[in-house]
Structure 1
Amino acid sequence: MITAYYYSPFYMFWDPTYWLIIAGAVLSLLASARVNSVFRKYSGVRSRTGMTGAEAARRILMSQGITDVRIERVNGKLTDHYDSKNKVLRLSDSVYDSASVAAVGVAAHECGHAVQHQRAYVPLTLRSALVPVANFGSMLSWPLIIAGILLSWNQTLIMIGIILFSAVVLFQLVTLPVEFNASGRAAALLADNGILYQEEVKDVKRVLGAAALTYVAGAAAGILQLLRLLILFGGRNRDGR
């Protein structure tokens, strides 16, 4: 027997599957706290070579024969990223001029993405191709799901919304090997180019490992959310059966 609350458009906000969302949120918060804690710790450890994040990035790119990537400063904390479209490596205020182990490690990680781009690393190419699909899904998935609920449980709209949300989750999953590979490249490049000593490279691995947890937590949260949507709406028709 189907109880009455299945017909309420607000059921999805208080049903037991909400624990899946709570679990995802907790994982994300823990991962964020971890990366901030580790970055703060190793931001206070100066590299023995005294090389800044920007200087380390220049040396790494030159060592890989990459001469067409600009290095720029970007405002914010941990806003570092590699812009493959414009071939720009952007380092945050806390990384660009800092000679800390953490800053050099983050700069090297972004260089890892530049190397991936130069060498046509397949997961990076796939992730780049998924960007417009993921952006589209992120923008429209929830409005379609909510519209489907409000329009007498329109299953078509709900399922289209779930499919679009699945594209977002797929993007998050493809991101994982890209990030892990960039971190692995970073550690090797720092050691090979004499930018950090071996014991400092171990510290960098701790910083980048903590950062990777944020991507893992994000993907886990996305999977849990998708699972919740499938539990709530999968196979349900307008009559609630």
Structure 2
Amino acid sequence: MFFDPTYILVIIGAVLCIAASSRVNSTYRKYSKVRSRSGMTGAEAARRILQLSGINDVQIQHIAGDLTDHYDPTHKVLRLSDSVYGSRSVAAIGVAAHECGHALQHKEGYAPLKIRAMLVPAANIGSKLGLPLVILGIILGIGFRLPGGGYFSLAQIGVWVFFFAVLFQIVTLPVEFNASGRALKMLGNYGMLGNDEVNDCRRVLGAAALTYVAAAASSLLQLLRLLYLSNSRRRD
């Protein structure tokens, strides 16, 4: 066995993701104890936001789990988790509004959301096959001769495949930040929360945004690692 110095990149990425996850969980727990003055549940808040935004073709469903909330643009369904659907907290309303922000993006044809949707198949393949292809390419030394006389290794192919997973994470950032911005604006403009409550929601959604930043950073670090490994193999 030998020490691979590139593992430090993986460790850094893991630490970032763990720290971000811990931050969002602790922030959500804090503000999930703050009951909104309106007394609305997350589901009721989502229903009202969609109605006031002129979105009448999106269903709201209850889904199991904590913070598993998401908007499904394919079926036009907004799914709210156990900790959001029936909760009357400021945190729950903020998360529900964030998902409504995605529904509004879909309605308006928000470009980054469209790009992210197109990247889903390639990103899924990249996240599953990128690393195995690089490892196989390094171990077996498999490559392909190009018609022009060049050479393309399996490890290099793995890097390019994994690149789409990284690209997906990067494109996700503006999508999530924009959805949070829309959510805070709608909660204020529609008079659903007071200014202090909107600020509480901002803290919750800001902490949640860090998880996407950490995921993107972790993916970029992994890509750098794979590039280093594939190039080292080519030099050898």
TM-score tier after normalising by the smaller chain length: over 0.9
CA–CA distance in structure 2, aligned partners of residues 217 and 136 of structure 1: 21
- TM-score with structure 1 length normalisation? 0.91
User: Is it true that 1:52 corresponds to 2:49 in the alignment?
Assistant: no
Please give the alpha-carbon distance, in whole angstroms, between the structure 1 residues aligned to 2:209 and 2:228.
Answer: 29
Tell me how far apart the structure 1 counterparts of residues 130 and 47 of structure 2 sit (CA, whole Å): 41
For residue 129 of structure 1, the aligned residue among 106, 114, 118 is 118
1:171 aligned to which of 143, 168, 172? 168
Query: Any stretches of 5+ residues in structure 2 without a counterpart?
Result: 144-151
Supply the distance in 2 between the matched residues of 1:161 and 1:205 (Cα, whole angstroms): 39
Distance in 1, Cα, partners of 2:115 & 2:168: 9
What amino acid is the match of 1:169? V
**Separation of aligned partners in 2, 1:39 and 1:182:** 18
Q: Which residue is equivalent to 2:18?
A: 29
Deviation digits for residues 97-136 of structure 1 (CA, Å, limit 9, x no counterpart): 1010000000000000000000000000100010011011
Specify which of 65, 70, 79 is matched with residue 76 of structure 1. Answer: 65
User: AA paired with 1:114?
Assistant: A
Residue number in structure 2 paired with 1:108: 97
1:207 partnered with 2:190: no
Matched residue, 1:162: 159
Q: What's the counterpart of residue 184 of structure 1?
A: 181
Aligned to 2:148: none
Could you tell me which of 201, 226, 229 is aligned with 1:229?
Answer: 226
Cα deviation for residue 235 of structure 1 reads 6.3
The amino acid of 1:61's aligned partner reads L
**For residues 12-23 of structure 1, what are the structure 2 equivalents within 5 Å?**
14-23=3-12
**Structure 1 consecutive aligned stretches of length 4 or more whose deviation exceeds 6 Å:** none
The corresponding residue for 1:217 is: 214
Map of 1:193 onto structure 2: 190
Equivalenced residues, count: 228
Given that 2:141 and 2:153 are in contact with CA atoms closer than 8 Å, whether structure 1 keeps it comes out as no
Aligned counterpart, 2:109: 120
Report the RMSD for the aligned CA atoms in angstroms.
Answer: 1.3
One-letter amino acid of the structure 1 residue matched with residue 62 of structure 2: R
Structure 1 unaligned segments of length 5 or more: list them.
Answer: 1-9
Query: Once the two structures are aligned, what percentage of the paired residues are identical?
Result: 63
TM-score normalised over the length of structure 2? 0.93
What is the letter of the counterpart of residue 187 of structure 1? L
CA distance in 2, matches of 1:100, 1:149: 52
